[in-house]
Amino acid sequence: MSDTQQTLPQIAGKRLLVTGVTGWVAGPVATALAANGNTVFGAARFRDATQREPLEAQGVQTISIDLQKARFDEVPDNIDIVLNFAVAKVNDFEVAFAANAEGPAALMELCQPEMFLHCSSTAVYAPDDHTPRLESDPLGDSHRPMPGMPTYSISKIAAEVLVKYTAKRLGVPTVIARLNVPYGDSYGWMMFHLMMMERGVPVPVHIDQPTSYTPIHSDDIVRSIPYLLSLASVPTTIVNWGGEDVAGIEDWCTEMGRLTGLAPEFAPTEATIAAIIPDLTKLHSTGFRSEVNWREGLRRQIATTRPDLLK
């Protein structure tokens, strides 16, 4: 069987720690892993205790941690796999470095698991027009122009450095997955754009149009976890993580307009994220390819969150 035809079984019978479990990406991953016969500890700060209930109802054992403060007193022993999805999107660099970089390294030190997956971002790349970004391409501060995200790219780069160093020092097989644009039936960047379209607010797009990415649906994010973990190694492997199809803000807003009858307006600007298209050759070498087409994913999202808008 060739690499492109390889099918890996989903993870079962493991003790997993999934951080950032109240977030968009980690929650569905944790609940899917729990449903597959794993013992899953879902970690977040849980300042709102009601956030625990839907996770625990789906078999996730919730624990409170704080990566910024290295508060790990509720983390159990004998964790087999850590999946780190926690992220702080803040304006303060010291807080961002503590939460996004120092915290994951400290967690690896504490758990020393069989495997560690660190969710990074294609935000670490320096945009280069619409040239697909290889894992070895130059890094840069791509998210600084975006309002409210001045620390994001740099703290993500710092996290990769500390995670790689700690994994090598401890001998923990690790994979750093640079996620592009995640979305699902009930979350995603597109939902904010739909709200803007509904209110007649122009949607920001980069002046170097089209503002293209490779969105990946939650179903495919869940499916891809064992493929990503198959790359875990010492020294750490870095891999781009996205969906099959290149689609831009212009594309998905136009498609949402077709589905709803709302007419998008675009506002070209430099004060937003430029196109970042990851090269997925290394991801494909594991045998993984996404299955949810972005147009079908958008239809599902609107049907779930705003069925009243569907034509």
- Domains of the chain (ranges; CATH) run 87-184+214-244+277-291 (3.40.50.720)
For residues 36 and 284, give the distance between their C-alpha atoms in angstroms, rounded to a whole number.
24
pLDDT in the model for residue 3: 43
pLDDT in the model for residue 60: 98
Beta-carbon contacts of 189 under 8 Å, excluding residues fewer than 6 positions away, are: 181, 183
Please, are residues 248 and 189 in contact by the beta-carbon 8 Å criterion? Answer: no
Tokens coding 183: 């979305």
Tokens coding 150: 């001045």
Please, are residues 200 and 265 in contact by the beta-carbon 8 Å criterion? Answer: yes
Please, are residues 192 and 202 in contact by the beta-carbon 8 Å criterion? Answer: no
For residues 137 and 171, give the distance between their C-alpha atoms in angstroms, rounded to a whole number.
26
pLDDT in the model for residue 73: 97
pLDDT in the model for residue 145: 86
pLDDT tens, residue order, the chain (311 aa): 344 457 888 899 999 999 999 999 999 999 999 999 999 999 999 999 899 999 999 999 999 999 999 999 999 999 999 999 999 999 999 999 999 999 999 999 999 999 999 999 999 999 999 999 999 999 999 998 888 889 999 999 999 999 999 999 999 999 999 999 999 999 999 999 999 999 999 999 999 999 999 999 999 999 999 999 999 999 999 999 999 999 999 999 999 999 999 999 999 999 999 999 999 999 999 999 999 999 999 999 999 999 999 98
